[in-house]
C-alpha cells in the first residue's frame, strides 16, 4: 500500500474527532505564509506540492466540517465563501487555468480531517486524475 493510502487510513481513525494541523493553523498556533486570508478562510502553500502551484484553502472554523460529505445546511455560507476565495486567489496570483480538488474520506486519500481545498496550477493536468 502506498504511503499516501496508509496515511489516509491512519488519519481516518484519529483525526475525525481530534485536532489537526489545519485547526492549529486556523487558530494561529502554527504560523504559515498566507497567500490569502480574510475573516473566514486562510490559504497557504502545500508543504508537499503536487504541481508548481499547490495552495491549500481552509475555513478558519471547522464547525464539524471534517470532510465535504459532512456538510449541512448551516455550512452553505462558508462553502460558498471557500469557492469565492479560490476565485480571488486565482485572480490575484494570475494562475490562469487550475484544478480544484477536495479529497473526501480514506478511499480518496484524505489525510487531514478538516475540510480543505487544493488549488493545483501551472502544469498540464491529466484526465482522469488519480
Rounded CA separation 79/102 (Å): 12
What letters, b where the CB count within 10 A reaches 16 and e where it falls short, cover 90-129? beebebeebbeeebeebeebbbbbbbbbbbbbeeeeeeee
Choose the catalytic residue: 54, 75, 81, 116.
116
116 is catalytic: yes
Catalytic positions, written as ranges: 116
Amino acid at each position: 500500500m502506498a504511503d499516501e493510502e496508509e496515511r489516509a487510513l491512519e488519519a481516518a481513525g484519529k483525526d475525525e474527532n481530534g485536532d489537526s494541523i489545519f485547526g492549529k493553523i486556523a487558530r494561529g498556533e502554527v504560523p504559515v505564509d498566507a497567500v490569502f486570508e480574510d475573516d473566514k478562510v486562510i490559504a497557504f502553500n502545500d508543504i508537499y506540492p503536487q504541481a508548481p502551484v499547490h495552495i491549500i484553502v481552509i475555513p478558519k472554523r471547522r464547525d464539524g466540517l471534517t470532510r465535504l460529505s459532512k456538510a449541512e445546511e448551516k455550512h452553505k455560507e462558508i462553502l460558498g465563501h471557500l469557492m469565492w476565495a479560490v476565485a480571488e486567489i486565482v485572480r490575484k496570483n494570475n494562475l490562469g487555468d487550475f484544478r480544484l480538488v477536495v479529497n473526501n474520506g480514506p478511499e480518496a486519500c484524505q489525510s487531514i480531517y478538516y475540510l480543505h481545498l487544493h488549488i493545483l496550477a501551472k502544469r498540464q493536468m491529466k484526465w482522469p486524475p488519480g
